[in-house]
Amino acid sequence: MAGMSGKVSVVGVGHTAYGRLPGVSAWALQAEAVRNAVADAGLSIADVDGLFTESQFSEPLLMHGTILGRQLGMRPRFLSTQSQGGATCISLIQTAALAIDAGMCSVAAVVYGDNAKTGQPNIYGLAQMGRGQADFVAHGLLGGPAMEALAAQRYRWEYGVTDEQFGSVAVTFRRHASLTPHAQYREPMSMDDYLASRWIAEPLRLYDCAITTDGGACVLLASTERARDTAQPGVQIIGMGQAHNLDGLRDKHHYTQFAGARSSREAYAMAGIGPRDVDVAEFYDCFTSTVLVTLEDYGFVGRGEAGAFAAEGGLSLSGALPSNTSGGLLSEANVTGWGQVIEAVRQLRGSCGARQVRGASTAVCSGHGGFQATHATLVLAGADAA
C-alpha cells in the first residue's frame, strides 16, 4: 500500500427512494440524501465541513455547490463542484479524500440528485458542451446511447461479441436487482425479454442502456481515525486512480480500450493489490458494452474475453467476479456513479442480505463517462481486510 491508502474511510451512505417521484425537485432529493448519509454515520450536518457536488444533469448549473450548500445552511471549509460525466462521483470522492488528508476538511459530503425521470427533460444536453463542440447533433447523433453505440459497434466488430453476450450483462444485473429491495426494476428479465427489447441505437437495445431515475445519493467521508467514532463499520479507501482519454479518435483504440486501463493500474498500485484480489466489482454500467470493455481494461479478463466471461456467469453472485450486486445503472437506479460506491460499501459492511457476497473484503468501483473519455477507479476495503 502506498500514498493515501487507508487514510480516509467512508463513514456514511444514504439515498432517497429510487424511481418515479413526481413533484420532488432535484434539490429536495440531494438534501434528503445528505440527511440520510449523515444519520447513517451517526453524525449531524454541523459535523460536515466539506461539500463535493455534481450538478443535476437535467439542469446543468454553474456554481451548483453554492446553491445546494445555501439550502443545507452550510459554511464548509472546502467546496468543489465537478463535471466529468460518469467519472464525477469517484473523482469527487478522490478530491475529498485528498482534502481530508491535507487537513482542509474533516467530514466530507459527496452528493448528487436529479429528477431525470419525471422532471425537466434534457434533450438538448449535448449543446451544453459548448458552441461548435457537438455539431454532430445535426446528424441526429443525440443522447448517450447513440454516442455509445459507435464504440459498442466497433468493440463488437473487433472481438465478435454476440447479442447474447451483451444481454447476459443486463439479465445478470436484473437478477441482482430482484434481490435488492430498493431497486427500481426488480421484475425478472429473461434473455428472450432482452432480445425482444426494442433497438435504441444498434447494436444497443433498450435493455443495454442505463435506466432513468428520480433519486439522490450521498457518500460521507472522514479520516480513518475519525471514522472509529462513527456508527458504522469502517470501509477504507485503499486505492484511487483516474485517467482520461481526451484525445478522442486520434487514437483509434479508444472505442475498445478505455482510460480504465490506466486508471485501474494507478488504483491497484496504491492499494497494493491486483485484479485477482478483488471480491466484488461495481462497474459503471451505463451500457452493457461499457461493462465488457471495463472488465478487460481492469485486467479481470484478457482483451476480447469479457463477452464469454459474462455469458458464462462470471458476473453473477456465485461467479468468479460478483458484479453490480444491486443491479447497477441498468436496473437498480441511475444516480450516475453514486449507486456503485454505496453498494460496494454495503457489501464490505456485510449488510446486503440476500445479495451479500460472503466474505467480501475488497471491492473495486469504476466511474466512466464523457463518451469514452473520462474514467476514475476506487478500491475499498472492509474493516477486516484493512
Partner 1 sequence: MSQWEIPKPQPVMSEETAPFWEGTAKGELRVQRCAACGSLQLPASAVCSSCLSSDIAWIQVSGHGAVFSFTVVHHAFHPAFASEVPYVVADIELDEGPVLTASIVDVDHAEVKIGMEVEARFRRLDEEYVLCVFIPRGSKLPEGAPGDSGTESKQTGGK
Distance (Å, rounded) from C-alpha 295 to C-alpha 302?
8
Which CB atom, from 4 or from 137, has the smaller least distance to partner 1? Answer: 137
CB of 201 to partner 1, least distance (A): 5
Residue 203 CB, nearest distance to partner 1 (Å)?
8
* CA distance from start to end of the chain: 10
The nearest distance, CB 214 to partner 1, in angstroms, is 20
Contact 175, 354 (CB under 8 A): no
Least distance CB 86 / partner 1 (angstroms)? 18
Minimum Å gap between C-beta 148 and partner 1 is: 9
Residues that bind partner 1 (CB under 8 A): 123-124, 127, 130-133, 135-143, 145-146, 149-151, 153-154, 157, 198-204, 247-250, 252, 255
**Neighbour-count burial of 148, counting CB atoms closer than 10 A to its CB (0-12 exposed, 13-18 middle, 19+ buried):** buried
Based on CB atoms, which residue is closest to partner 1, 131 or 358? Answer: 131
Residue 261: closest CA among 362, 341, 366: 366
Considering the complex, state which of residue 142 and residue 311 has its C-beta at the smaller distance from partner 1: 142
Q: For residue 114, what are the β-bridge partners?
A: 215
Kindly tell me which of 141 and 383 has the beta carbon lying closer to partner 1: 141
CB of 252 to partner 1, least distance (A): 7
Assigned C-alpha cell, 62: 454553474
* Ranges of H-type helices in the chain: 26-41, 64-71, 88-101, 144-159, 163-178, 191-196, 224-227, 260-271, 288-297, 306-311, 328-331, 338-349
Asked if residues 300 and 287 have their Cβ atoms less than 8 Å apart, the reply is no
Nearer to partner 1, 66 or 153 (CB): 153
Q: How far apart are alpha carbons 231 and 245 in whole angstroms? A: 39
Q: How far is the CB of 140 from partner 1 (least distance, A)?
A: 5
Q: Which is nearer to partner 1, 205 or 355 (CB)?
A: 205
User: In terms of C-beta density within 10 A (0-12 exposed, 13-18 middle, 19 or more buried), how is residue 46 classed?
Assistant: exposed
Q: In this complex, which beta carbon is closest to partner 1, that of residue 157 or of residue 359? A: 157
